Every structure is written in C-alpha cells, then in structure tokens.
Amino acid sequence: MSLFRRVTAGLVVVASLTACSPEQPLPAPTAAEIGGTWVNSETRLTLMQDKTFTLENAPSYLDPLGDADWKSGPSGSYTSTGTWDLGSGMLWLSGSKVTRPLYLGQTSSERVLEFGIDLAGDARCFQLVREGSKTVPLGPKDCIT
C-alpha cells in the first residue's frame, strides 16, 4: 500500500472516531442564559432575571404515610414561588413549597433542567426544556439523575 493510501486511510479512521465521540459538554450557564421559561407537558418553571421564580403544576412525590407509594407516581401537584441561584453545577430553588437543586443537564446540544424526585431514595427525575424547544423532555420512567 502506498504512503498516500495509508495516510488517507488513517485520516478516514480518525475522522470516523471523531464523529462518533460524545458531544461536548455545554459550558456553565450564566444567570442571563438560564433565565426564561422551562416546561414539560405539565410543569412550568419561570426564572425571572431578578432571580425570583414561579413553579407551576410540579408533581408532588411526597410520602406522608411512609409507605413508599410515591414510587408509583406523583400524589398530586403544587405551585411555588421564591428565589433561585446558580452554584456547584446546579440551579438552586428556595421557595414557599420547594427548596432543592435542579441538575443542569443536556440532551444533544441543548440545555435541560433535571428535577430529581427524591435526592436520597429515588434516582428518577423529570426534565424541563426551554419553552418552544423541539426537544421532548424525559419523564420519570426515562430520566435517571
């Protein structure tokens, strides 16, 4: 095999491996970039530039009886308002009915917010995507934090 063919074959292999490499992680967002409205089929999270938020129709995975019935699905929904901040690779919500982090994830090259169901006992989550996105957010059966 000639030198030209060996070099060409080597470049094809390198190009193929590069094309199959995992996507590049998105850089950490700024407060201005994360602000706006995030949704899934039921839940709506609006992050205002003054670092306040409104969370509407979020599924409630509470377990008041301690019988782990929340694992089969939400026991209802709730709405909350409060403040938000970015830190340690997470979006932190502190509000009237919710105080917890949302993971800054990505699907393809698009940012998603992953809302963990139970940080201590259940790795499932549900995703929120930017309003108007063509990305379909994952629900608890498909989303693992």
pLDDT tens-place string over residues 50-108 = 999 999 988 876 554 555 555 556 667 888 999 999 988 899 999 888 777 888 888 87
The stretches of 20-104 forming alpha helices (DSSP H) are 31-34
Q: Say how far apart CA 58 and CA 60 lie, in whole Å.
A: 6
Residue 105 has what pLDDT?
A: 87
Distances (CA, A) of 123 to 1, 44, 137: 53, 21, 16
Counting residues of the chain whose pLDDT is more than 70, the rounded percentage is 68
Mean pLDDT of the 36-43 span: 92
Residue 143 has what pLDDT?
A: 73
Residue 141 has what pLDDT?
A: 74
